[in-house]
Amino acid sequence: MQEMQETYNGMAAADLEGVVWQKSRHSNSQGNCVEFAALPGGEVAMRNSRFPEGPALIYTRAEITAMLLGAKDGEFDHLTG
């Protein structure tokens, strides 16, 4: 039986073995985007696609849900304008 890897905020994204990273299809041609990966324990990791070996931030599903709902509602539109 394989032991589940301990995850923590700021760990190297490269240390998250066996996860599948996904970025938005809206990502620009230079690949500047954030990427998300579902973790075996139910959390979600996020990394900067420009620095795939860099740190990963680890969120609960509830935190990701709140962020996505806010984005869908336009709460963060002022950050891109």
Stated pTM of the model: 0.84
Q: Is 2 part of a structural domain of the chain?
A: no
Q: Is 8 part of a structural domain of the chain?
A: no
Q: Is 3 part of a structural domain of the chain?
A: no
What pLDDT is attached to residue 30?
73
Which residue in the block uniquely carries the two structure tokens 């849900």?
Answer: 65
Q: Is 40 part of a structural domain of the chain?
A: yes
In degrees, rounded to 5, the angle at the alpha carbon of residue 61 between the alpha carbons of residues 16 and 36 is 45
> Which ranges of the chain have pLDDT less than 70?
1-5, 31
CA distances for 21 relative to 12, 49, 81, angstroms: 14, 9, 27
Q: How far apart are CA 12 and CA 75, in angstroms?
A: 29
- What's the domain range around 51? 15-79
Q: Is 5 part of a structural domain of the chain?
A: no
What pLDDT is attached to residue 2?
46
What tokens does 73 get?
């509602």
Q: How many domains does the chain have?
A: 1
What pLDDT is attached to residue 32?
78
What pLDDT is attached to residue 4?
53
Q: What is the DSSP string of 5-32?
A: PP--TTEEGGGSTT---EE-TT--TT--
